[in-house]
Structure 1
Amino acid sequence: MKRTFYLQDDQSNKFWNIECRGNTIITENGRIGAKPRLTQKNFESPDAALRAVARDIHEKRKKGYLEGDASSLPPHSKRLPPRLVRINHDDYKARYVGKLKDGSQFFLTFPFEPRLEGRKGGNYIALYRFDEYGALLEAEIFDEKQEGLTTESAVDAFTERLLERLGPHTFQDISVTPFSVSAFGLEFGLIFDPGDDDTDDAGEDDDDDDDPSIWVTVEPGNYMAFYPPWDGEYDT
């Protein structure tokens, strides 16, 4: 049976199909809407071919490919959100990013709401877990005030307990899909900002070939702002 995948975001617009026929694998790939490139590989046995199919699909999904029919997708735009944003482990805002033994990923971070323009303000601790392909599995968000975390040492101890609860893990770079969740009346997550959709005097959109100013920001607080090519670099 043929399985079809695609990767469409601000950087990519391509498809990949794979089919196993006995001990032969046939793949098709290319830009969505263009003529496909065909590749054929032969293996010692049907079982070996099936194992190769599973490995290839796994690798494509790690790159952000989704399973589905690319023919129903909208036209490509550079204002589409990225499929994956890399977060590079560092000693600053990305101290607590990494992976668990099962391949799932985590990001423990400290969102905040400034006390401005009538906002009550607040400090939070957020622990996000993702599957090995970057999709959000779980979001736990804690209000430091409600948890009684009134000192830096108390926040540090609470953070360590959350990390211990994860089980064995390593701090390392991760790649995850933008997302948002609601808690405490606020929007939390890695949230895509498509930027300003400027128009000219005639009311027509600017040339989409120009690189738009798009971001994925860690919210609330906008304290990490990722940008194309989504390679882990961020502004603060």
Structure 2
Amino acid sequence: MPIPAVIPIRYEPGYRTENIGRYDEGQFFASITAAYPDDFRPGVDDWLKHRRWYAVLHRFDADGHHTGSDVWTPGPGVPADGRLDARLEQWLAALPGLEFDDIGVRPFELRYDGIRFGLVAECHDEKAAEVGEPDWAELYPDGLGFSAPWNGEYST
């Protein structure tokens, strides 16, 4: 089943989609996530030095088009700490009319620090790959995958 134009994402308090919803200007998806630069290769003894934690706030209009993102990191090798939570809380507090709820957004992609961020349409099934028709949407770098039956639930 091909991906829909607008991908539903279900709000789940206490889980990985707890910071999503709507505000006066549209929709948002916020998270704290870890990532590695694209050129990082596993097996490096000092892998913690390469990991970066990010506070991320993606904004969308009411129709699910990406309108902008805020991305912040304390730097490579810095462990996750209260600064990330504080930054995310500050961004969320600045969204007028904020309500946590289900959202529906369209695929988008951006790069920050050489790292992919976004909801990217992909082919995971062999048949989908053969015909070049995406059947999966992956949220990067969070590692949340969305697929049929397109009910807003995700896989990790």
TM range (shorter): 0.7 to 0.9
C-alpha contact 2:109 2:117 (8 A) present in aligned 1: yes
Unaligned runs of 5+ in 2: none
Query: For this pair of structures, how many residues does the alignment match?
Result: 145
Deviation per CA, 1:80-131: give whole Å up to 9, x if none: x4301111111200011011124x0011022322575257221111111100
Q: Give the structure-2-normalised TM-score.
A: 0.79
Give the CA deviation at 1:138.
0.6
Name which one, 1 or 2, has greater alpha-carbon Rg: 1
C-alpha contact 1:111 1:218 (8 A) present in aligned 2: no
The one of 102, 106, 120 equivalent to 1:177 is 106
Deviation per CA, 1:42-64: give whole Å up to 9, x if none: xxxxxxxxxxxxxxxxxxxxxxx
Higher relative contact order (CA 8 A, sep 6+): 2
Whole-angstrom CA distance in 1 between matches of 2:10 and 2:110? 22
Aligned AA (1:175): G
Aligned AA (2:57): L
CA RMSD of aligned residues (A): 2.8
Aligned AA (2:7): V
Name segments (4+ residues, structure 1) moved above 3 Å. Answer: 149-152
Counterpart residue number, 2:12: 90
Q: Give the structure-1-normalised TM-score.
A: 0.54
Aligned AA (2:136): W
- Sequence identity, in percent? 26
Whole-angstrom CA distance in 1 between matches of 2:142 and 2:24? 31
Give the CA deviation at 1:186.
1.3
The one of 105, 122, 126 equivalent to 1:193 is 122
